[in-house]
Amino acid sequence: MKTARPARRWQLAGLAMAIVVMVAAVAALVASHQPTRPGQSGPASQSGSRIASAAALRSQAVSWVITQAGQNVSVACDAVTCAGLVTRGFPASNLTVLQPTAPDPYGGLLVIATADVRSQFGTKLSSVYAPQVIASFGGGSSRIDIRVVASQGPVAFQTSLSADLAARKSSGAQLLRNSRITVAAGARDQLTSGHVDSRLLTTIAFLAGQHPVDVVGFGGAAAGADSSVPLRTAYLAESDAAAHQSSSAYVSALEAVLRAQSPPYVPLSFGTVHQPGGQPVLEIQFPAPSPFGLLGS
């Protein structure tokens, strides 16, 4: 089985210089496209529009990684995208810059598949190197996908994915039999079908060991994500009659448990949000991507 090559990382100084060069290049390119008169269009205007559209999609992908994956994940990306991540505060030490001569996208847990990256690695990107899409932005040739890297190869990745799905189904069924956990109808289906992240399953079971829990629903699916990607967000009711506490005391107790967790069970974020109908719920979200094997065999 083919194993991942060592990460090809630029030194921080080199990456900083790359950022300066990339920013200057983009600025010069944009400046070279002079605006046309109102009502007119031409090659320069169309090219400028494409550049702006590509930059907007790249910004969306960068924002998604920062807000949904956090800053502890390792990411492989082209030089422009990596520069965009660094300018948004992402640690340069967690980046693998995919130079045009790179034989594969190994070196990160995620790869940001821009048009250039897809062109560089061809069909092997989806069939061998990074088979799972967890988020996608735009369409056509300008599409940008966030993919999970199969560092041990596609066969091992699919085997782990199938085993994890079976474990999540089993654990979800166990949660439904727990008398201290109340689950809304829609959420019940998500649990039995194995669509809930293993970290959420473990966290809910742990919370229920100390306080009764009312699961309102699950969410967090990103646009364009494969159906195999688990839901990383849970919504819990902020009161439970069985807890014999005020709503504020109950929520504080749940949050105290969440703060005390150790990796990989430390949430990316948690706090009160309001559902469309106005109901306040406690939102618990874990970072992407969802890990395999936490529930055991």
Distance of CA 209 to the CA centre of its chain: 29
Whether residue 125 contacts residue 105, with contact meaning beta carbons closer than 8 Å, is answered with yes
Sign of the CA dihedral with 64 first, then 69, 72, and 78 last: negative
Crossing angle for the helix pair 154-176 and 185-192, to the nearest 10 degrees = 140
List the beta bridge partners of residue 236.
215, 282
CA 154 – CA 56 distance, rounded (Å): 31
CA R_g for the chain: 22
Of 98, 80, 85, 78, give the one whose Cα is nearest residue 29. 80
CA 64 – CA 137 distance, rounded (Å): 10
CA angle 283, 284, 288 (to 5 degrees): 125
Whether residue 231 contacts residue 246, with contact meaning beta carbons closer than 8 Å, is answered with no
Number of H helices, E strands in the chain: 9, 10
Q: Over its length of 297 residues, how does the chain's per-residue pLDDT go in tens digits?
A: 334 444 444 434 445 445 444 444 433 333 333 444 444 455 556 666 777 888 999 999 999 999 999 999 999 999 999 999 999 999 999 999 999 999 999 999 999 999 999 999 999 999 999 999 999 999 998 999 999 999 999 999 999 999 999 999 999 999 999 999 999 999 999 999 999 999 999 999 999 999 999 999 999 999 999 999 999 999 999 998 888 999 999 999 999 999 999 999 999 999 999 999 899 999 999 999 999 999 975
Of 69, 137, 84, 99, give the one whose Cα is nearest residue 7. 99
Domain boundaries defined on the chain: 12-152, 155-285
C-beta neighbour count of 204 within 10 angstroms: 24
CB within 8 A of 230, min separation 6: which ones?
A: 168, 194, 195, 196, 197, 198, 290
> Tens of pLDDT along 247-273?
999 999 999 999 999 999 999 999 999
> Tens of pLDDT along 165-187?
999 999 999 999 999 999 999 99
Cis peptide before 289 (omega within 30 of 0): yes
C-alpha count within 13 angstroms, C-beta hemisphere, residue 115? 13
Distance of CA 75 to the CA centre of its chain: 11
Residue 178 has which token pair?
């727990």
